[in-house]
Amino acid sequence: MGDWPIIFTRFALYADLMLLFGLAAFGLYALRGAERGPGGAIAFRPWLAGGAVAGLLLSAAGMLLLVAGMLGASPFEVDRETFDMVATGTPVGKSWLVRVAMLGLALLAAFAAGRGPAASLAAVALLSGVALSTLAWTGHGAMDEGMIGWAHLGADILHLLASGIWIGALIGLLLLVFRPLDRADAAHLRLSRRALDGFSTIGTVVVGTLLITGLVNGWLLVGPGHLLDMATGLYGQLLLGKLALFVAMLLLAALNRFRLTPAFAQALATGDHQAALFTLRRSLAVETGCAVAILASVAWLGTLAPPASGL
């Protein structure tokens, strides 16, 4: 069967938890005060509830594949006793239990969005943020010990959370700007512009966090002695591809912030917004495509031995 089921499950779980956390956070900082309006944060409730359910299912599938890999058996051959032993007796198993608990609570919080949208979004963001953080124990960040190990885990957690904020914002913005034009009234267009401005501010912090934690992780996983060999191995090639995609996302984000968003705002003032909206949609869609490709490379990288491991 190979590693492909594991890679796909990792990819889907990373994407799902980042969307769940990032979309809830986006509703808080970018749509504050507009939770109940058309296209407001309360419209994200189906996405949040669906993300929590998908996270539970993908977590169960991922844990089953992990235990099956430990046994060298098929997932259908894993018995309950072995599954429970791994889930309760290993760090990755305990982090899995925390993730499942947080996602279950996040699902309940998502269903409460109709009664108190702001409080519900905050609860979903907090709970899903903890769930997303547990993925650090399933990657290379858990391979070190002592202070270096804790530093690596901390960098991984911050990297995951910052990535989630960016990806959730992209999905949130896409949901706003791709609303059918015959329903995109002036109030909704102004809300979309406000959301774009809201992410511009927090986006600077997100990019800075990703750069610093990425450098820490790269130093620990690749090591200074292997920098010149990166292009010769699969791990290095995937990592270089990930870096190229990240640079592309940075350029697109800068284009959106300094060119397309101001142009969209100006177009709203004149009433002729269709061309500016189309260009903005296209840019956000390409940026999201880059993010999906990065997540796919991260899922694959997690199954390979990094150069610094010596394996």
| Each residue's pLDDT tens digit, 27-86 | 888 877 665 554 555 678 889 999 999 999 999 999 999 999 889 889 889 999 999 999
* pLDDT category of residue 12 using cuts at 50, 70 and 90: very high
**pLDDT at residue 1 in the model:** 45
- Using DSSP, state whether 311 is helix, strand or coil: coil
**pLDDT at residue 227 in the model:** 58
Q: What is the mean pLDDT of residues 286-303?
A: 94
Report residue 17 as tokens. 């938890």
**In the predicted model, what is the mean pLDDT of the chain?**
86
**pLDDT at residue 60 in the model:** 96
- Can you give the pTM of this predicted structure? 0.90
- Where is pLDDT greater, at 186 or 277? 277
- Where is pLDDT greater, at 97 or 311? 97
Domain range annotation of the chain: 1-138, 148-306
Q: Please say if the pLDDT value at position 117 is more than 80.
A: no
- Where is pLDDT greater, at 200 or 61? 61
- Where is pLDDT greater, at 163 or 27? 163
Q: What is the mean pLDDT of residues 263-273?
A: 83
Q: Please say if the pLDDT value at position 309 is more than 60.
A: no
- Where is pLDDT greater, at 185 or 276? 276
- CA atoms within 13 A of residue 307's CA, in its CB half-sphere: 22
Torsion 80-82-88-90 (CA) sign: negative
Which DSSP symbol is given to 35? S
First to last CA, the chain: 22
> Helices marked H in 30-138 — which ranges?
45-71, 80-89, 91-111, 117-133
The whole-angstrom separation of Cα 146 and Cα 68 is 29
> Helices marked H in the chain — which ranges?
4-29, 45-71, 80-89, 91-111, 117-133, 146-177, 186-221, 234-255, 261-270, 274-301
Q: What is the mean pLDDT of residues 250-254?
A: 94
Task: List pLDDT tens digits, range 207-218.
Answer: 999 999 998 888
